Structure 1
Amino acid sequence: MESFLYQASIYLAAAVIAVPIAARLGLGSVLGYLLAGIVIGPLLGVVGSETEDLQHFAEFGVVLMLFIIGLELEPRTLWDMRHRLIGLGGLQVVLTTAAAMGVALALGQDWQPALAIGMIFALSSTAIVLQSLSEKGLMQTGGGRSAFSVLLTQDIAVIPMLIVLPLLASGSVVRLAEDGSIARASDADHAAHASLSLVEGLPGWGVALVTLAAVASIIVGGIYLIRPLFAFIHTARLREMYTALALMIVVGIAFLMSLVGLSPALGTFLAGVVLANSEFRHELESDIEPFKGLLLGLFFITVGAGIDFGTLFREPLLILGLTLTLILGKGAILYVLGRLFGLRGRNQWLFTLGLAQAGEFGFVLVSFSLQQNVLPDILGARILLVIALSMLITPLLFILYDYISRRLQAEGGEQPDDDEIDEQGPVIIAGIGRFGQIVNRLVQSTGFKTVVLDHDMQTIQLMRRFGFKGFFGDPTRPDILHAAGLEKASVLVVALDDPEATTKLVTYARTARPDLHIVARARDRTHVYRLYQAGANDIVRETFDSSLRAGRYVLENVGLSEYEASEAEKTFYAHDRYSVRELAKVWDPDVASAENKAYVERARELEKELEAELLQIIEKRSSNAA
């Protein structure tokens, strides 16, 4: 018990110290976790052999992460991604496997271990990449969504890889004996440990049927069993029971997937997608999120602590050369594929640099390859070190992306590509600056879904860091509006800073949807007239309400009571709305207001009417006082 508490204290203290420092320096939390692991492992040696066992436990953080990602993806959205999953992701896995296999063959490896190396290096780090994309608010960009598609394809590809690896096993492989000499080991010496399995010993068709039954049970259970379970737990009225149920769902599905030989992460992802439309979606997310973050952090620490610096120092040029070759070669393939699939500029660099490393599933494949006698121990140790180093370098690649992104914008004024809008709702908000964000918060807090569009990437990224989803794109473009669901929306809120863009957007929206209710932000009274003619239903001057409230405070402090000041404010507000409609009828955009006689005369008449209405309030006050 004392040993466990000691180790737990070491890991937690390392995370608490290193991660805030790394975040403060702009390095990101992932690099902080990795550096913490290096310090307590290879450098100080305060943790030891338990790191490998702990890593298997910490890998469950990846399972939880994919479950939460699945909760945020509706099945329709996943179907819409099929071209990237099959095309972009499939090509990446195949081409990277072939390229890495070719390099291994050139270095003198047989084709069996060369193919295993190719499959291992074709995978990228789901944990590091998704964590970094989320922290930087890049998940909904074109490059972020493409990276996610490839990562999902890679996770699925692990299944056939695990099936192929035993077929590559040779009768004997080279092993490193305890005394340092080279020894031969037979298959019998390294037989895989027996484990629980529902498919062991079954023919191929039996394995397929059991696997399909397991997947079907997840889908059916997610649709028909989760709601009754939550209703049952609700009767206990204990908050911890919700957390227990959420963990039971994830752990149970992961265990079922293990029994049929599938990836637990893939199974929980599928369950998350099934539950994406459930009313318990947010409850599940809030219950699991703390466990996911803690276990992912622990996983990154174990990766850093497990780096074998002894092998690195014995063969530094070889290990570093292989690591750089992996990153550069994989990056070149990703760059070409990104270009072929329409990625440009910052999105292309994000896609390229974000996925150029090896991944945590590579550890699993290397371990499995060693058990199946596909790889010799010496080669396996080198590959493990290359995987760990490439993962350690990944946060630095994201820093390089930030630098390239700033240079592209500074030198060429380049803007990122528009996001792929995968959501629709009853309310579209165009513009999320100081005006639109208040509207968005009010509408969302009331329980209505909004689709937020803005052409400022920094604003969108800042919004995402606070938990509000938005999409980068020019709202005045018809294709962006239609992708956001213009045909089905009930209300369009135009909250752009640019008056000309606002008028243009209102004009198009009114033409495309005569029945749409349009709420528009106006710069001044003249802009109100333009929006009125363009077809806006409700027009709000950006400083009118705040100025009106300030005027009410003035009246309260020069002798009027709060009630009288409030009545004057209401009267002024109602009369101003009436005046705007009246003056819009005689306003001519081609003639200055001061030169428009009809406009001037009507403005004077309306001003006298306002004075008369306000005078009645003052006289009523005087008569009551008397």
Structure 2
Amino acid sequence: MSETLAFILDVGVATAAALLGGALVRRLGQPPLVGYLLAGIVIGPFTPGFTGDVERISVLAEVGVVLLVFALGVEFSLRELGAVRRVAVGGAIAQIAVSIAGGFLLGLGVGLDPRAALVVGAVIAISSTLVVAKTLADRGELDSIHGRNAIGWMIVQDIATIVFIVALPPLAAEQLSITPILLALGKGALFLLIAFVVGTRVLPVGFAAIARLGSPELFLLAVVSTALLTAFVSSAVFGLSLALGAFVAGVLVSESDLSYQAAAEVIPFRDLFAVLFFVAVGMLVDPSALISEAPLVAVLTLAAVVGKGLLSAVLGRAFGLPTRSAILLGASIAQVGEFSLIIAADSSRLGLINDATYNVILATTIASIVLSGPARRVADAAASRLEHRATERWSSAHEHGESGGHRGPDAGDAPVEAPRRRVVVAGSGRVGRIVVRAVKARSFACLVIDRDRVRLDEMAALGADILYGDAARPEILHRADLDRAVVLVIAIGDPLTAHLVAERASHLNPGLMIASRARGVHQASDLRAAGVHHLADPDNEAAIDLARHALQRMGVSGPELTAITINLRRDAYR
């Protein structure tokens, strides 16, 4: 068979195996990433049947790494990080440092040399951005307290990943000294300076000129060539990693007005080549060798899931998150992810870790991602149980005529002067902001409750009264004087927080009309049980509005259109 046909066969079988593996694990409720890794093991040299050529597939896999990290740079947002910097930056840095130290000591304890132990610590410290973002999006929690902080936490971890990758070559030197590290930092600084000048002076002009040509193909070529050539210059000219060059290229593109289009163009190619990277990683694993290493895999998985999860929860609470949000934050990032595999692959290539350690890292990654779902369910149950106990204690105290309870750090700054009739809005994100604008457009009184000072200042600028604090806290709801509220609007994306707000508000004022956003049948029925009278599901409302618009364009109007809309809404929320 010719080299060309052999290459096509290898890539075809690798993608087909990834398709089957991804589909299978997806049916089992697991992220497709696990299926891609397992597909690599199946077609690897250590299992019977078809054996792919690792070298051939690895060439395309390197392109996958470059595009994966480039897309990470494009999606990098200092604005998102700045919004949650108090918790995410300090907490993530502390979590990374403690995780590296713990993994390092654990590695030394099982007989690894110090450099390999340091790699193990770095691998454990990094979570899966793909798993975290996908899980939060599927659960409708991207705008929740723990969701926003988890995304910020991931941004800090992603930056740490780039630092780790840059530090690997000096770490692999025969004699460890400060000189190679300083030299690498100097080269990195020079590369960043040149990239900044080119990226701010040349790239925007070039991209704008190409965009004006109106050809999607040319724009795609511009984006991909920028990623690949910047990665090449980083490695071939400055002796740095491909990943650093790709990340810097992505960050520079992200500052352009065309960043969203650039991300949209490169994502399909990123996904395809990244899949080949994960397959190539799996092909290097020897399943039989893992049997003897099973105890070590179990220990590392325990450290990555339980240890890192608890550590992150404690740090989140220490940096000011509510207890329930801290628990959910810890569970969200309790796994090892795709960028840890890049660190492991580079470390293996540089000789920092042997094949056995590489096998253990991959097995730990798969096991931790598989366990991330059960870990999240345990965290959900723990957070719910904790908050329901708090509700019972508060309800008992309230029934005995006590005040709102002990005033904690989230209990607001000053008493809230309540008019006789007003709307209370819990949450000042995109949904809450629209509600406030509608209420203030009619000059009705409105009080907004949120923990985000920046968002509250925006609400105050709209003319709303504001109360800083966690809307799920009984003390905060007590200070909101719900007895004088006409309606409470819960515009919070976090299902548990929304449930607690509804439940505790109903206890304070059983006759209060409560309206809430909800996503899916399960959350809708949960909120109804908590006392919510009116629900708005984003998907349902979008579908109803689109149907109404389509019928309107077809000539349906007046009472008939109103009746159809009412029936659609009744059926959707039945």
TM-score in terms of structure 1 length: 0.56
2: CA distance between counterparts of 1:120 and 1:3? 34
2:381 to 395, 407, 410: 407
Structure 1 distance, partners of 2:458, 2:159, is: 32
Which of 469, 473, 476 in structure 1 is aligned with 2:448? Answer: 476
How far is 1:396 from its partner? 1.9
2:458 to 482, 486, 491: 486
1:48 aligns with 2:41: no
Alpha-carbon spacing, 1:504–1:406, altered in 2? closer, same or farther (3 Å): closer
1:165-180 paired onto structure 2 within 5 Å:
165-166=171-172, 169=175
Distance 1:326 1:401, change over 3 A: closer
Contact kept? 1:147, 1:354, Cα under 8 Å: no
What do the CA deviations read for 1:526-565 (whole angstroms, capped 9, x no partner)? Answer: x9xxxxxxxxxxxxxx99x99x99994579xxxxxxxxxx
Check the 8 A contact 1:233/1:241 in 2, yes or no.
yes
Match 1:452 to one of 431, 435, 440: 431
Superposed CA offset, 1:241-287 (max 9, x none): 01101112222332233343445445544444444453312221221
Aligned counterparts, 1:189-200, within 5 A: none
Aligned residues of 1:127 and 1:296 also touching (Cα < 8 A):
no
1:230 aligns with 2:207: yes
Q: Find the partner of 1:392 among 347, 359, 366.
A: 366
- 8 Å Cα contact 2:104/2:118 also seen in 1: yes
After TM superposition, the structure 1 stretch with the greater mean CA deviation from structure 2, 91-100 or 21-30, is 21-30
Distance 2:345 2:182 in 1: 27
**Aligned letter for 1:396?**
V
2: CA distance between counterparts of 1:79 and 1:271?
Answer: 21
**Do the aligned residues in 2 keep the contact of 1:92 with 1:337 (CA within 8 Å)?**
yes
On the 8 A contact 1:62/1:127 being kept in 2, the answer is no
Q: 1:111 to 1:38 in 2, by over 3 A?
A: closer
- In the alignment, which residue of structure 2 is the partner of 1:106? 109
Q: Structure 2 counterpart of 1:305, which letter?
A: M
1:339 partnered with 2:317: yes
Aligned alpha-carbon RMSD (Å): 4.7
1:23 shift after superposition = 2.9
* Distance (Å, rounded) in 2 between the aligned partners of 1:120 and 1:25: 26
Q: Distance in 2 between matches of 1:63 and 1:305?
A: 21
Aligned residue type for 1:386:
V
- CA 208–250 in structure 1, closer or farther in 2 if over 3 Å, else same: same
Aligned 1:134-213 pairs, distance under 5 A: 138-143=141-146, 144-159=150-165, 161-162=167-168, 164-166=170-172, 169=175, 208=185, 210-213=187-190
Matched-pair contact (CA < 8 Å) for 1:67–1:265: no
In the alignment, the residues of structure 1 paired with residue 140 and residue 366 of structure 2 have an alpha-carbon distance, to the nearest angstrom, of 21
Distance 1:245 1:205, change over 3 A: same
**Structure 2 contact 85–152 (Cα < 8 Å) conserved:** no
Shift of 1:3: 1.0
Partner residue of 1:253?
230
Given that 2:123 and 2:344 are in contact with CA atoms closer than 8 Å, whether structure 1 keeps it comes out as yes
Does structure 2 retain, via aligned residues, the 8 Å contact 1:92–1:122? yes
Shift of 1:482: 5.0
Identify if the C-alpha distance between structure 1 residues 35 and 228 changes in structure 2 by more than 3 Å, giving closer, same or farther. same
Alignment CA distance shift 1:53-1:394 (3 Å): farther
The structure whose Rg is larger is: 1
- State the match for 1:30 in structure 2: 33
Aligned to 1:14: 17
Name the CA shift for 1:3/1:84 in 2 (closer, same or farther; >3 Å). farther
Question: Are positions 1:69 and 2:75 aligned together?
Answer: yes
What is the one-letter code of the residue matched to 1:338? G
Cα distance in 2 for partners of 1:35, 1:61 equals 22
How far has the Cα of 1:99 moved from its partner? 1.7
Counterparts of 1:26 and 1:311 in 2: how far apart (Å)? 28
CA shift, 1:311, in A, is 0.9
Inter-partner Cα distance in structure 1 for 2:345 and 2:560? 76
Distance, in Å, in 1 between the alignment partners of 2:326 and 2:43 is 36
How big is the shift at 1:384? 0.7
SS at 1:59 equivalent:
helix
Question: Paired residue for 1:90, among 88, 93, 98?
Answer: 93
Structure-2 separation of matches of 1:214 and 1:95: 30
Amino acid corresponding to residue 381 of structure 2 in structure 1: R
3-state DSSP of counterpart to 1:477: strand
- Give the structure 2 partner of residue 306 of structure 1: 284
Residue ranges of structure 1 left out of the alignment (5+ in a row) = 171-201, 416-429, 433-449, 456-473, 493-497, 507-526, 528-541, 556-626
Measure how far apart 1:315 and its partner are: 4.2
Assess, with a 3 A threshold, how the Cα gap between structure 1 residues 291 and 89 changes in structure 2: closer, same or farther: same
**Structure 2 CA distance, aligned partners of 1:357 and 1:261?**
31
| 1:476 partner SS | strand
Alpha-carbon separation, structure 1, partners of 2:183 and 2:384: 60
Report whether the alignment pairs 1:221 with 2:198.
yes
2:285 alignment partner, SS class: coil
1:359-415 CA deviation, whole Å, 9 max, x = no partner?
55555555665676655xxxx222211210121123323311442255347646679
Kindly indicate whether the alpha-carbon contact (under 8 Å) linking 2:305 and 2:334 is maintained by their aligned counterparts in 1: yes
Asked if 2 retains the 8 angstrom alpha-carbon contact of 1:128 and 1:391, the reply is no
**Alignment partner of 1:352 is 2:352:** no
Q: Is the 8 A contact 1:38 1:305 kept in 2?
A: yes
When normalised by structure 2's length, the TM-score is 0.61
For residues 94-114 of structure 1, the C-alpha deviation after alignment (integer angstroms, 9 at most, x for no partner) is 222222222333344554554
Give the aligned residue type for 1:59: V
d(CA) in 2 for partners of 1:400, 1:299: 27
The structural deviation recorded for 1:158 is 0.8
Which residue does the alignment assign to 1:3?
A: 6
**1:22 is paired with a residue of what secondary structure?**
helix
Which of residues 237, 244, 263 is equivalent to 1:285? 263
Report the AA paired with residue 218 of structure 1: A
In structure 1, the residue matched to 2:527 is: none
Identity of aligned residues (%): 25
Structure 1 pair 325–298 and aligned structure 2 pair: CA distance change class (3 A):
same
Q: Is the 1:30–1:132 Cα contact (8 Å) retained in structure 2?
A: no
Equivalent residues in 2 for 1:591-602 (5 A)? none
Unaligned runs of 5+ in 2: 391-423, 435-445, 465-481, 491-512, 514-540, 562-574
| Separation (CA, whole Å) in 2 of partners of 1:78 and 1:44 | 47
Distance 2:141 2:304 in 1: 24
Is residue 128–residue 333 contact of structure 2 (8 Å, CA) maintained in 1? yes
Query: How many pairs are equivalent?
Result: 428
Q: Deviations over 1:323-360 (max 9, x none)?
A: 44554444443343333233455643454344444455
Equivalent position amino acid for 1:302 in 2: A
Q: Which amino acid letter does the alignment assign opposite residue 33 of structure 2?
A: V
